[in-house]
Structure 1
Amino acid sequence: MPHPDWEDLSDFFDPDEFATKAIITRGAEAVAEVFGIFDDPTDVASLGEFELEHPNPRFVCAEVEVSLVHAKDVVTIEGKAFDLMRAPELDGTGLAVLHLATPNVIHDAGL
């Protein structure tokens, strides 16, 4: 199904405005570098009286930019690495949502 051509997504994901760069890697190989909107889980979105909280970070970007991205890839945003929890979620309008999680890290406590 063709995507709507009524909007140029590159204008929406302009880094000079409010987009953030994400570097997506698989192992040691870079898979993609994309611009999108990073949604921090500590931010609370509100609509009138209602507030929406989501437990994990998300990254919204253009669908065509993440066609080679798979679940378990690593997404680095603003120097912080996240695990990609599942394949990009496509919304049918040309946008994709990457559902992220902070990686589990075992720290050496020096014991």
Structure 2
Amino acid sequence: MPAPSWEQLDSFLQPGDFAVLAEVALQGGGIRAVLGLFDAPYYNAELGEYDFDTRQPRFTCTAAEAGGIGRGDILSLAGTSYDVLTAPQEDGTGLAVLELAERAGT
């Protein structure tokens, strides 16, 4: 298999490899399927003299797929729902990151 190029971002997002399919419920109505990479890195944050442990879930997909997704939409993945906290943050390579927060009760 040839190495993927930046011009063919879909080759990085193959469901059989690392990518997963998520559903996004848009505030304006409708549901979209989006293919991307989910991760929830661990952070040990400090606030003054206090330490706390947290995770910052995020979903990385192509900027084209992220178009139209925004703050307040709901991303669902593997039985868990997340609030989309920011507009897509494009990284200049054709990919975009959605910052997420797990919804209470999911």
Q: Output the TM-score relative to the length of structure 2.
A: 0.75
Distance 1:88 1:40 in 2: 17
Distance 1:99 1:73 in 2: 11
Quote the offset at 1:41 in angstroms.
Answer: 3.1
Instruction: Report the equivalent of 2:48.
Output: none
Give the gaps of 5 or more residues in structure 2.
44-52
Residues 55 and 7 of structure 1, relative CA distance in 2, 3 Å threshold: same
Distance 2:55 2:17 in 1: 26
Please list every run of at least 4 consecutive aligned residues from structure 1 whose deviation after the TM superposition is greater than 6 angstroms: none
Instruction: Report the equivalent of 1:63.
Output: 63
Distance 1:77 1:40 in 2: 13
Distance 2:102 2:94 in 1: 26
Give the gaps of 5 or more residues in structure 1.
44-52, 106-111
Equivalent positions of 1:1-111 (< 5 A) are 6-27=6-27, 29-30=30-31, 32-42=32-42, 55-105=55-105
Distance 2:61 2:79 in 1: 18
Question: Normalized per residue, which structure has more strand?
Answer: 2
Residues 83 and 67 of structure 1, relative CA distance in 2, 3 Å threshold: same
Distance 1:25 1:79 in 2: 14
Sequence identity (%): 36
What is the number of residues matched between the two proteins?
Answer: 91
Distance 1:67 1:24 in 2: 12
Partner-residue secondary structure (3-state), 1:64: helix
Partner-residue secondary structure (3-state), 1:70: coil
Partner-residue secondary structure (3-state), 1:23: strand
Distance 1:104 1:79 in 2: 13
